Structure 1
Amino acid sequence: MSTLVIGGAGYIGAHVVRLLLERGEDVVVVDDLSTGAADRVGAATLVELDVAGDGAQTSLERVMSERAVTSVIHFAARKQVGESVARPAWYYQQNVGGLANVLAAMENAGVRNMIFSSSAAVYGMPPVELVGEDVECRPINPYGETKLVGEWLLADCGRAWGLRWTALRYFNVAGAGWPDLGDPAVLNLVPMVLDRLERGDRPKIFGDDYPTPDGTCIRDYIHVLDLAQAHLAAMDHLTSDAEPTEHVFNVGTGTGASVKEVVDEIGRASGLDVTAEVEARRAGDPPQLVAAADRIGEVLSWKAEHGLTDIIRSAWEAWQAGPRRIG
């Protein structure tokens, strides 16, 4: 028996693959390597494949049957909000079409367990300080829409052919579980700040006039290793004898940190001057988005172990271990 990790050569997926291998599981990774790297999957088998491409369903069925796959963890998706606004049809093709291919292959191969990477983007701009899973989902961009549609598709497959599924709604993921598994993309706040520092530029803060204590946006930052552990907890729960009573879980800490606090923490970890340039607000940024993380603790017995200091220290160490070391 084996676990199929789709997108397992990417930032979050590689952490899950390493944890699975460490506990002795047989792991198969499917990845198109568009944002991942082959050297991140360790001893796992790597199959290079675009799950949204032509013939993907047939190839996935073959992999599932040949490797006796019993569970699938699905990470593969496009995730740039701005790009999704500019190319909505392509985002639906990639994110929803790719997931549909995976689920059709699972149905035909008799694989019944799925962990799905969802996102806090499904909530949009909820009018609450702590966002629980039962808040009405009103995504404000095509990326968030594709994640919500993905959850609907999973529920439909559960009703149609008995899929057992869990969707994990990530909040702001950062840090590194190991120095060689840092975030390789400069798309999120922490690597964006480090990227600018490496180039000799000042960090940027978009808006300092929000209704928050220091005027900058507040988000819930989750250590990538804690997030990876949440996937294992979800899979263990899903593959137990008990019938799942909840399918959707926030993965966060329940505590917010402002953009300024994150930038200041990077300064403390690095010893660098992180005096920021303040620019205009970005459209669509809610002042605060923090997870209510009670459900995942009660059902999956999972709780984040790392705070902001650990997150930033590990991100700094991973950056310094990479090709763009500062200083």
Structure 2
Amino acid sequence: MVSTTNEYLLKPAALPKTNTNRKNRVWNALKRDKYLYLLGLPGLLCLVIFKYFPMWGVLIAFQDYSPYMGFFKSEWVGFEHFQRFFNNPDFYQLLRNTLAINLLSLVFFFPIPIVLSLMLNEVRNEVFKRIVQSIVYLPHFLSWVIIAGLTFSLFATGEGLINQVLVSLGAKPVEWLTTPNYFWGFLTAQSVWKEAGWGTIIFLAAMANVDPHLYEAARMDGASRLQQMRNITLPAIQNVIVILLILKLGHIMDVGFEQVILLQNAAVSSVSDVFDTYIYRVGVKQGQFSYTTAVGLFKSAIGLLLVIGSNKLVKKAGGEGFY
């Protein structure tokens, strides 16, 4: 007993933990994967330079910004620009148009890549499948300028191909592009035609990870192709659908500026004026930088709240969520 006690007394005390080992592990990991980190360095630099560094610019939303005075010498006005924007008669029209266009996109555009992916996943002829994929991917690589030109060529009142066909059949031409009731539908149809095929890439990649043995077991149990799709494929890509839906909700206040501005005209301004076009018209053309920065900050804040809120709802419902 004495010898044991002496040995215990003579045993050196444990040294306090330091960060040395942790630093060594980090350094060894950097050395081991240096080429991977080097490969990701350009993307990281672009993220910092073009996404994080410009965040200093939100300061001017609370200032009466003057380019001559700079960020730190311009007069601070607090929430004056936000109050002006919320009291602006155009605010509710901008909010209505922006939400309506995005909700139409959410209802009609978002499900189409999922349905198209399920259909492509059922094609067993690989040659035919690749041909169809190439065809539906192609519009993604066309600019909105080209798509707007095609739209005018097809639907213009005087020289549009559709109206020429109608006139040749004895019908009256339809003012497709100058009728407010058609504008939101044209935007949604353009988005579907351009991006639906490209949106299938993520879903097809998720479907490729489904265990083939699940389909074999389902076929042995007599499940039809539709039952396999409903009970195996859809649950397998459920998390991907939820994540993309959360990201889509985060952009609910954003409408493609280029798409809208190219299709916009005076006759449809009541339904085509959205936050993005308003920022361009007031901020860029009229030079009201602080005011339109406040508008942009308002949009970003709403998007952030929607992402956080929808993510919490998904987790409460038992899903994994985005983070």
TM-score scaled to structure 1, two decimals?
Answer: 0.23
* Higher RCO, 1 vs 2 (CA within 8 Å, ≥6 residues apart): 2
Higher helix fraction (1 or 2): 2
Structure richer in strand, relative to its length: 1
- Scaled by the length of structure 2, the TM-score of the pair is 0.23
Larger Rg: 2
